[in-house]
Amino acid sequence: MIILSLLGVSLSSLFSNPILKENFGFLGKWLAKLWNSYLSAPFQYLWSIWVDLIWEPFLDILKGLIKKR
């Protein structure tokens, strides 16, 4: 944001541009469709593995350290 200000770019004028709004709307819809159709299921699968293998053991270690105090 600071860099844009130093370059003299006005965010209000950028976001009032109808072509830019349309392009960002298209991009947002495309990314949502990509996420919902293709990326969500693999991400959730990998997330559950990460939670089981890394996060829960990490929390167990922290709880053990707290109990020792």
What's the rounded Cα separation, in Å, for the pair 46 and 23?
Answer: 31
pLDDT at res. 13: 85
pLDDT at res. 69: 76
pLDDT at res. 60: 96
* pLDDT tens digit at each of 69 positions of the chain: 788 888 888 888 888 999 999 999 999 999 999 999 999 999 999 999 999 999 999 999 999 999 987
- Sign of the CA dihedral with 24 first, then 26, 30, and 33 last: positive
Q: Give the residue extent of every domain in the chain.
A: 2-68
What's the rounded Cα separation, in Å, for the pair 35 and 56?
Answer: 26
For residue 65 the two structure tokens come to 């350290």
DSSP string of 13-24, one letter each residue? HHHT-HHHHHHH
pLDDT at res. 53: 98
pTM: 0.61
